[in-house]
């Protein structure tokens, strides 16, 4: 900080000196008006120069190390150019700092806080009432605490980590590197990530418009975790008619995802392909269409394959001038899951619940609509229907009403009434109340 | 099943090969500049003239904090030579994922085609000490509504001219000449605006959001309060009553409102203090007739002087 103060003092001194020189210059025989105009211009230029230097200082402050840290230059060579000469002398603590730099890798023990990643925590507390023996939920639960750690790695890539803390364990929900400067406009990712299958599978819990995920997601696409696996992803915007957006994403994963895929050997990888088409219908409305395909080896072994097909559609209305008060979103996903599975006499007690023998063709969908009533209030509804994956003759149906209140941008209170008619002819009536709250700088999610 | 798997693999590989062979951007002689706000687009157009193709992402009547990061914006960003943003975290809620998804290495933060205009401007309301969200949606690096000061407009134009010159050195003289011309015209216009506003120097006003500190400073207005109790927090009854009492006490009659805020609370305050709501435009394009940076100030100052006259 000291070096910035010195820099400011230097700037002010230089400015005053320059002004002094200007005022001491013998006045030419010009009109007073011309002199005044010239002086005004000089003053303005000097003022602009000071403002620009202030801007540079702001940038340096954001990029460089604090004085204590700056004295111990790390191997990364991030020393600011304006460092005062005295700071070049290595203090006694320098060897320690250098040792830290080695131990901590590229970040360095003396790295500035300014270079720390953005850190956020999003709490998700859910209270529930009602009876549901098929899919029971506790009366109160700290359902999830999502820790987000995000930063730009270098000029070519950024890194994003999302750790999901439950009440009893921790799970790496996502952790990946995104290569942002590849040739031919490709964007690539490597790490663990939510697969680009449909819409809901890509969404973190805190950006869902409901307390829980739709039945079709829970039954056919791996429940809350969904297709979430380690692998690589490549996406690119495709040529399309004017004003149409088209993007293809191709992904290859290890092949382990919830109750959908299991890899018994390294060849049992799963793949996901997603084609997205988008168009602005007007400046306030748009249509988002997608088609998805995924394939992998299922729980029954290498010889048993599961195929997932999905189509999704989203219509959005948001009047630009009143965007913070009113909006409407209607969305729907249709998903087909086809898998071959052995006779239940073969898998016996290891069969998943409700399993039956032979090839299963399961289908499910959800349709939902959300209307923003005012700056803080949202009203929504969702209709669910889904076959069970291991016995497609069993069908669950459901419906939900959702009311959401935003005290601020960083907290949300939501109530959801849900009726589920399970295949066993059992009706479940449940009421959920959810409180979500965000700490720190959580990066915006893709649209 | 294996056949299907192979077929899918072949289709995916073929698509990737086709995508690689396709040209990533259409050849264009003009620099393609994308700005987040229309004001930056207007300043870029002033400096870049016919050597640039410039387009803004947000509309002038849109709240710049809450723009949807629509995929159609990616079509604009993917081929951009230069992205100019307001910075100071104004666009933090929507711009970063667009930049990441654009597949355009030039406009990534730190790249040659990434320009944060805040570095050229005088920034006000930089918080001192620790910052928490108990103070609302504060901007830790200072108030980002800095373009509403014509002095900052001039400084930003200079910065843009330097950046355009770096990207297109062959046209450096052209950009510098246009910047000088803009500066001259802006100085003349500013003299006129200051003259128009001079009778109202020191007049007290309230504003809805903290959008006008640079504007108020430049024209000598005194902002004594805000309709939002905290930045980003909608008006509350208790805060509104306090504000009305303060306005009555200090004889404040004018409320400055951005076009994207609801007028219910401002109108009720106006009726209680016998005042006037003035919907000022914070950006170029806020109204069809506000086609450039000059007309933005023309429009706002005409409205404001009329309102001051009516509430003498």
**Where in the sequence is the domain holding A308, given as residue range(s)?**
118-440
User: Is the CA virtual torsion A178, A183, A186, A190 positive or negative?
Assistant: negative
Model confidence band, residue A86 (pLDDT cutoffs 50, 70, 90): very low
A232, β-bridge pairs = A190, A252
Residue to test with chain B: of A42, A241, A324, most B Cβ within 10 A? A324
Per-residue exposure over B124-147, b if at least 16 CB sit within 10 Å of its own CB, e if not? beeeeeeeebeebbbbebbbbbbb
List, for residues A411-422, the tens digit of each pLDDT value. Answer: 999 999 999 999
Question: Nearest residue on chain B to A338, judged by CA atoms?
Answer: B1
Helix axes B237-250, B264-273, angle to 10 degrees: 40
Q: Do A444 and B108 touch (CB under 8 A)?
A: no
B59, two tokens: 């509309």
> To the nearest whole angstrom, how far is the Cα of A353 from the nearest Cα of chain B?
25
Residue to test with chain A: of B71, B101, B263, most A Cβ within 10 A? B71
Q: Is there a domain that residue A355 lies in?
A: yes
Burial class of B91 by CB neighbour count within 10 A (0 to 12, 13 to 18, 19+): buried
Q: Do B97 and A318 touch (CB under 8 A)?
A: no
ipTM: 0.85
Q: Which of B71, B159, B260 sits opposite A323 (nearest CB)?
A: B260
Q: Which of A180, A237, A323 sits opposite B108 (nearest CB)?
A: A180
Measured at the CA of A186, the angle between CA A181 and CA A190, to 5 degrees, comes to 80
Measured in whole angstroms, the distance separating CA B36 from the mean position of its chain's CA atoms is 7
Over range A225-236, report the average pLDDT.
96
List, for residues A13-38, the tens digit of each pLDDT value. Answer: 555 455 445 444 445 556 787 888 78
Helix axes B293-310, B38-48, angle to 10 degrees: 130
What residues have CB less than 8 Å from A443, skipping those under 6 apart?
A118, A120, A148, A150, A160, B96, B97
pLDDT of residue A357: 76
> To the nearest whole angstrom, how far is the Cα of A74 from the nearest Cα of chain B?
21
Instruction: Tell me if chain B has a CB within 8 Å of the CB of A275.
Output: no
Q: Which residues of B touch A278 (CB under 8 A)?
A: 70-72
pLDDT of residue A97: 37
**Is the pLDDT reported for residue A151 higher than 50?**
yes
List, for residues A351-372, the tens digit of each pLDDT value. Answer: 777 777 788 999 999 999 999 9
Q: Virtual CA dihedral for B202, B206, B210, B212, nearest 10 degrees?
A: -40
Q: Is there a domain that residue A244 lies in?
A: yes
**DSSP code for B141:** T
Low-confidence ranges of chain B (pLDDT < 70): 1-28
Spatial distance between the Cα atoms of A125 and B211, rounded to a whole number of angstroms: 35
Residues composing chain B: 312
> To the nearest whole angstrom, how far is the Cα of A10 from the nearest Cα of chain B?
19
pLDDT of residue B15: 61
Instruction: Tell me if chain B has a CB within 8 Å of the CB of A444.
Output: yes
Q: Do A52 and B119 touch (CB under 8 A)?
A: yes
Q: Is there a domain that residue A28 lies in?
A: no
pLDDT of residue B6: 60
Residues composing chain A: 447
A327-339 and A140-154 strand pairing: unpaired
Q: Do A250 and B19 touch (CB under 8 A)?
A: no
Q: How many CB pairs under 8 A join A and B?
A: 170
User: Which stretch, A77-81, A272-276, A300-304, B108-112, has highest mean pLDDT?
Assistant: A272-276
Q: Is there a domain that residue A70 lies in?
A: no
Over range A280-302, report the average pLDDT.
95
Q: Which of A51, A59, A323 sits opposite B62 (nearest CB)?
A: A323
B254-257 and B204-207 strand pairing: parallel
Over range A381-408, report the average pLDDT.
95
Contact map slice: A 95-124 vs B, CB within 8 A: none
- Give 3-state DSSP helix, strand, coil % of chain B, rounded to 5: 50, 10, 40
pLDDT of residue B19: 53
B185, two tokens: 């015209």
Spatial distance between the Cα atoms of A138 and A132, rounded to a whole number of angstroms: 10
Domains, chain B: 31-122+133-189 (3.40.50.1980), 192-310 (3.40.50.1980)
Q: Residue B83: what are its φ and ψ, rounded to 5°?
A: -115, 125
pLDDT of residue A64: 53
List, for residues A129-141, the tens digit of each pLDDT value. Answer: 999 998 899 999 9
> Closest Cα partner for A329 from A292, A271, A382, A290?
A382
Measured in whole angstroms, the distance separating CA A115 from the mean position of its chain's CA atoms is 20
> Closest Cα partner for A202 from A165, A227, A166, A222?
A227
B114-116 and B31-35 strand pairing: unpaired
Which CATH number belongs to the domain containing residue A123 in this structure?
2.40.160.10
List, for residues A109-128, the tens digit of each pLDDT value. Answer: 444 566 789 999 999 999 99
Q: Residue A411: what are its φ and ψ, rounded to 5°?
A: -145, 155
Q: Do B72 and A247 touch (CB under 8 A)?
A: no
> To the nearest whole angstrom, how far is the Cα of A426 from the nearest Cα of chain B?
37
> Closest Cα partner for A135 from A439, A433, A396?
A396
Q: Which residues of B touch A250 (CB under 8 A)?
A: 12, 15-16
pLDDT of residue A202: 96
Q: Do A283 and B59 touch (CB under 8 A)?
A: yes
Q: Is there a domain that residue A387 lies in?
A: yes
pLDDT of residue A113: 64
Over range A275-290, report the average pLDDT.
97
B50, two tokens: 């016919």
Model confidence band, residue A3 (pLDDT cutoffs 50, 70, 90): low
List, for residues A157-187, the tens digit of each pLDDT value. Answer: 999 999 999 998 999 999 999 999 999 999 9
Are the C-beta atoms of residues A196 and A233 closer than 8 Å to each other? yes
Q: What's the domain count of chain A?
A: 1
Q: Which residues of B touch A305 (CB under 8 A)?
A: 1, 5
The DSSP annotation for A354-379 comes to: T--SS-EEEEEEEEEEEEE-SSSEEE
> To the nearest whole angstrom, how far is the Cα of A271 from the nearest Cα of chain B?
9
Q: Is there a domain that residue A58 lies in?
A: no
User: Please, what is the end-to-end C-alpha distance for chain B in angstroms?
Assistant: 82
Whole-structure pTM value: 0.83
Model confidence band, residue A12 (pLDDT cutoffs 50, 70, 90): low
Are the C-beta atoms of residues A241 and A409 closer than 8 Å to each other? no
pLDDT of residue A36: 81
pLDDT of residue A370: 98
A407 to A11, A339, A419, B148: CA distances (angstroms): 45, 45, 27, 30
Q: Which residues of A touch B93 (CB under 8 A)?
A: 444
3-state helix/strand/coil string of A63-111: HCCCHHHHCCCCCCCCCCCCCCHHHHCCCCCHHHHHHHHHHHHHHCCCC
Q: Is there a domain that residue A401 lies in?
A: yes
Instruction: Tell me if chain B has a CB within 8 Å of the CB of A291.
Output: no
**Is the pLDDT reported for residue A67 higher than 70?**
no
């Amino acid at each position: 900080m000291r070096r910035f103060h010195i820099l400011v003092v230097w700037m002010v001194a230089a400015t005053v000196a320059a002004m002094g020189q200007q005022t001491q210059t013998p006045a030419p025989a010009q009109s007073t008006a011309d002199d005044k105009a010239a002086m005004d211009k000089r003053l303005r230029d000097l003022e602009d120069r000071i403002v620009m230097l202030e801007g540079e200082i702001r940038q340096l402050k954001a990029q460089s190390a604090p004085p204590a840290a700056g004295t111990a230059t790390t191997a990364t060579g991030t020393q600011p150019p304006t460092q005062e000469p005295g700071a070049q002398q290595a203090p006694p603590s320098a060897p320690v700092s250098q040792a830290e730099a080695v131990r901590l890798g590229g970040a360095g023990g003396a790295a500035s806080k300014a270079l720390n990643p953005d850190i956020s925590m999003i709490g998700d507390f859910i209270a529930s009432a009602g009876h549901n023996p098929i899919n029971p939920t506790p009366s109160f639960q700290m359902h999830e605490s999502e820790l987000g750690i995000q930063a730009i790695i270098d000029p070519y890539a950024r890194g994003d980590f999302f750790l999901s803390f439950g009440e009893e364990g921790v799970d790496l929900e996502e952790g990946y590197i995104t290569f942002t400067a590849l040739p031919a406009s490709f964007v690539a990712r490597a790490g663990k990530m939510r697969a680009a299958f449909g819409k809901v599978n890509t969404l973190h819990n805190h950006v869902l418009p409901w307390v829980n995920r739709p039945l079709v997601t829970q039954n056919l696409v791996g429940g809350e975790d969904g297709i979430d696996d380690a692998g690589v992803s490549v996406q690119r915007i495709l040529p399309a008619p004017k004003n149409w957006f088209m993007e293809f994403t191709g992904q290859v994963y290890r092949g382990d995802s919830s109750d959908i895929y299991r890899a018994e050997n390294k060849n049992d990888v799963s793949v996901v392909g997603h084609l997205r088409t988008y168009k602005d219908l007007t400046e306030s409305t748009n249509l988002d269409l997608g088609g998805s395909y995924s394939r992998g080896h299922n729980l029954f072994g290498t010889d048993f394959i599961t195929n997932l097909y999905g189509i999704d559609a989203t219509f959005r209305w948001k009047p630009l001038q009143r965007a913070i008060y009113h909006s409407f979103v209607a969305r729907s996903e249709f998903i087909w899951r086809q898998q071959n599975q052995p006779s239940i006499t073969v898998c016996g007690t290891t069969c998943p619940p409700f399993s039956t023998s032979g090839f299963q063709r399961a289908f499910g969908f959800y349709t939902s609509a959300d209307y923003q009533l005012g700056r803080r209030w949202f009203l929504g509804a969702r209709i669910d229907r889904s076959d069970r994956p291991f016995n497609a003759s069993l069908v669950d149906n459901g419906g939900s009403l959702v009311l959401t209140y935003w005290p601020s941008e960083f907290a949300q209170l939501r109530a959801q009434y849900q009726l589920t008619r399970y295949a066993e002819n059992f009706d479940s009536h449940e009421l959920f109340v959810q409180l979500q709250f965000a700490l720190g700088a959580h990066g915006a999610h893709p649209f | 099943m294996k056949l299907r798997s192979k077929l899918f693999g072949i289709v995916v590989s073929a698509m990737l090969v086709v995508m690689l062979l396709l040209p990533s951007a259409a050849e264009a002689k003009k620099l393609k500049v994308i700005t987040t706000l229309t004001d930056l687009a207007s300043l870029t157009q002033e400096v870049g003239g016919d050597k640039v193709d410039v387009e803004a992402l947000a509309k002038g009547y849109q709240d710049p904090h809450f723009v949807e990061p629509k995929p159609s914006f990616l079509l604009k960003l993917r081929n951009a030579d230069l992205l100019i943003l307001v910075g100071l975290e104004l666009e933090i809620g929507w711009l970063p994922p667009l930049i990441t998804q654009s597949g355009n290495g030039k406009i990534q933060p730190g790249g040659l085609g990434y320009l944060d205009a805040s570095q050229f401007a005088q920034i006000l309301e930089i918080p001192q000490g620790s910052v928490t969200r108990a103070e609302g949606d504060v901007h830790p690096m200072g108030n980002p509504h800095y373009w509403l000061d014509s002095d900052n407009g001039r400084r930003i134009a200079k910065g843009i001219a330097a950046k355009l010159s770096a990207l297109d050195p062959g046209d450096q003289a052209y950009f510098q000449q246009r910047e000088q011309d803009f500066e001259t015209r802006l100085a003349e216009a500013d003299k006129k605006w200051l003259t128009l506003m001079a009778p109202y120097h020191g007049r007290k006003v309230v504003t809805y959001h903290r959008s006008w500190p640079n504007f108020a400073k430049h024209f000598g207005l005194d902002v004594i309060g805000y309709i939002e109790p905290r930045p980003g927090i909608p008006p509350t009854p208790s805060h509104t009553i306090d504000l009305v009492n303060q306005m009555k006490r200090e004889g404040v009659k004018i409320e400055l409102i951005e076009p994207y805020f609801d007028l219910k609370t401002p109108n009720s305050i106006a009726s209680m203090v016998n005042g006037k709501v003035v919907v000022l435009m914070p950006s170029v394009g806020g109204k069809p007739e506000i086609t450039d940076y000059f007309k933005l100030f023309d429009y706002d100052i005409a409205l404001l002087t009329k309102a001051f006259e009516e509430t003498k």
